[in-house]
Amino acid sequence: MPIIMWTPDLAVGDEKIDDQHKQLFKAADDLAEAIFAGQGQAELEKTIDFLAEYTRFHFRDEEATMVENAYPAYAAQKSAHERFESEIGELRRKYQAGEVQGGLAVEVLTKACTWFKEHIRTLDRALGGYLKEKAKA
């Protein structure tokens, strides 16, 4: 049974964006399950690499949707995306340097879950509402 999962209250109303968000939550859940099974370190590199690569893909895809739809809050979204990519990059650097190995899996998990939920509930939901209103017009 999943420990961390995407739930309908996180829906932004755009199927492609919601599906991509589900993939991010799946990666976090895989790490959470590995931590609870005492295998967090084994899953950590895979999760960090996935988050670094998939968020880059997801953010660029989401940003392209914003540009295509003349989304007025594009700059704020792009800035938030860049900050998260930088934070994941720093966690990746810590991992590769062998820093704080014991707690790094939990740090990555906490960062990802907290950031995803906050970002989706605020900025992405606003984007979803904008896209929905634009489709009605």
Q: pLDDT by residue (tens digit) across 18-46? A: 999 999 999 999 999 998 898 888 888 89
The pTM score is: 0.90
Of 121, 26, 32, the C-alpha closest to 80 is 121
Residue 65: the pLDDT is 96
pLDDT over 90 percentage in the chain: 68
68-101 pLDDT tens trace? 999 999 999 999 999 999 999 998 898 888 876 6
Average model confidence (pLDDT) across the chain? 91
